[in-house]
Structure 1
Amino acid sequence: MFRVVGNNISGVGVLDKAVLILTACVDGASLAELVEHTGLPRATAHRLAQALEAHRMLVRDPRGRWHPGPRLGELSNATPDVLLTAAEPVLAVLRDQTGESAQLYRRRADERVCVAASERSSGLRDTVPIGSVLPMSAGSAAQILLAWEPAEAVLPLLPRCKFTGRTLAEVRRRGWAQSVAEREAGVASVSAPVRDRTGRVIAAISVSGPIERFGRRPGERHAMAVIRAGQRLSGL
């Protein structure tokens, strides 16, 4: 039996059980699945799920499956984003070290969103405004955001991608990605992963600019600076 059991147990029984319920509902769960995933008695799982639903921390779909509720998002939005707060100075340093525009991307389903950026002050540059939505099918940041995903999550996307599974394997091996005119003609980029405390890739940090400055092997010039920037943002 698979159970959602974490290493961090507070000792407050009802709280620990409620967290188990919330964790089990991330992708949706019926009452039977809650019992299976948490190991809790059926009556306990049902009572806690109903209580969390009353507080809008869970909601039920038409099939009766519980999902994360709106209150969780409201609480999350009220909390400063630690990664974005830390990213601003790190991106500025990366921009100054490389002389190129720097960006931070997060994945959103089959897209990636630029959530922070630091632009060159002059000269040719690749401007990616904060909030820009770009495809997961091209670009070094997309490669980073897919390279460490499980195969079953990546394979359906690959037919639409301008890179291959072999490319992603190489990204995993060396720890960084590069692209040359992959997303946009005349533009090159280099990206590295940003990881959470468990080691999961949660974002991609990048530099991008014109090919005439980056060359056809931009990773040779900028990979180490981008990797170090990603490491500074990891584990927050």
Structure 2
Amino acid sequence: MATLTSESGSGVGVLDKTSLLLGVLADGPASLRTLSEVTGLSRATVHRLALALENIRLLTRDAQGRFLIGPRIGELAEEAGRDRLARSAGHVLAELRLRTGASARLYRRHGGLRVCVAAAEGPGTGRRVRSAEGVALPMKAGAGAQALLAWEDPQEIARSIRGAAFGMVTLAKVRRQGWAQSLGTGELGFGAAAVPVRGPAGQVVAALVLDGPVTLMSRAPGRQYGGLLIDAAAGLDTGPA
């Protein structure tokens, strides 16, 4: 199995090793053995670092004892996302919920994760903890991940789609359409549509997502709601030009 290396280290060994561990776990849970093999670090080093990170809630474990990203990561990302964009999203998300009956969410990208920084749950859809504010999800599936990645540079796209549920062709289509969609990716029977939110210089700074049961979203959620989402994204406050 190939190992990871830190191409642009911080110069502080423990931070660079921690970064390697988090980079692996951004793709999902991993055992101690897998973390050691992928990072090239010794099992003893991985075990020591993982236990220390678990103590401060940056890592946690699943029912099989595998390590995964801990709740503190989401909390820190959510706090960092409490800028004017996240604050301005409340009324936009509420309006989308009112007009569609679906749940509206705003995601920011943090490395290999997308973090929900604001949400308005649609009536009757139930509170889906998996997508609640502060929850961090891998950038490997879903309309939100597609919208966040589609306008990255080709090298970053190639790196990020390794092991993803979508590829270059899908992201090229997202760029042409201006919106992304997914069906049953995060939860069976649910569909989602997403569009990029652009900053003052035109860069993608977030993804605006609408999701709900397929009975509400249809089998073509992007076609049905893409235009509405594009208009709503234009109304978000991303800062001065």
**TM-score, structure 1 length as denominator?**
0.64
Deviation at 1:131, TM superposition (A): 0.5
Residues 126 and 79 of structure 1: CA distance in aligned 2, closer, same or farther (over 3 Å): closer
Residues 145 and 112 of structure 1: CA distance in aligned 2, closer, same or farther (over 3 Å): same
Distance 2:139 2:235 in 1: 24
Matched ranges for 1:45-84 at <5 A: 61-62=11-12, 81-84=83-86
Distance 2:175 2:210 in 1: 19
Matched ranges for 1:141-180 at <5 A: 141-180=144-183
Distance 1:87 1:161 in 2: 28
- Tell me if the contact between 1:144 and 1:192 (Cα under 8 Å) persists in the aligned partners: yes
Deviation at 1:82, TM superposition (A): 0.7
Deviation at 1:220, TM superposition (A): 2.2
* 2:111 alignment partner in structure 1: 109
Q: Deviations over 1:73-100 (max 9, x none)?
A: xxxx899611111111111111111111
Amino acid of the structure 1 residue aligned with 2:109: R
Distance 1:153 1:160 in 2: 14
Distance 2:82 2:209 in 1: 23
Q: Deviations over 1:193-227 (max 9, x none)?
A: 11110000000001101112212111222111111
Q: How many equivalent residue pairs?
A: 166
* 2:121 alignment partner in structure 1: 119
* Aligned-residue RMSD, C-alpha: 2.4
2:222 matches 1:231: no
Amino acid of the structure 1 residue aligned with 2:227: M
Q: Which runs of 4+ in 1 moved over 3 A?
A: 60-63, 77-80
Q: Deviations over 1:70-129 (max 9, x none)?
A: xxxxxxx89961111111111111111111110000001111000000112x32357321
Q: 1:140 aligns with which of 139, 143, 150?
A: 143
- Tell me if the contact between 1:194 and 1:234 (Cα under 8 Å) persists in the aligned partners: no
* 1:182 alignment partner in structure 2: 185
Distance 1:126 1:207 in 2: 14
- Tell me if the contact between 2:82 and 2:117 (Cα under 8 Å) persists in the aligned partners: no
Distance 1:223 1:142 in 2: 15
- Tell me if the contact between 2:106 and 2:119 (Cα under 8 Å) persists in the aligned partners: yes
**TM-score, structure 2 length as denominator?**
0.63
- Tell me if the contact between 1:100 and 1:125 (Cα under 8 Å) persists in the aligned partners: no
Distance 1:227 1:207 in 2: 11
Residues 133 and 205 of structure 1: CA distance in aligned 2, closer, same or farther (over 3 Å): same
Residues 92 and 157 of structure 1: CA distance in aligned 2, closer, same or farther (over 3 Å): same
Of all paired residues, the percent bearing the same amino acid is 40
Distance 1:209 1:131 in 2: 19
3-state SS in 1 of match to 2:162:
helix
Q: Which has the larger radius of gyration?
A: 1
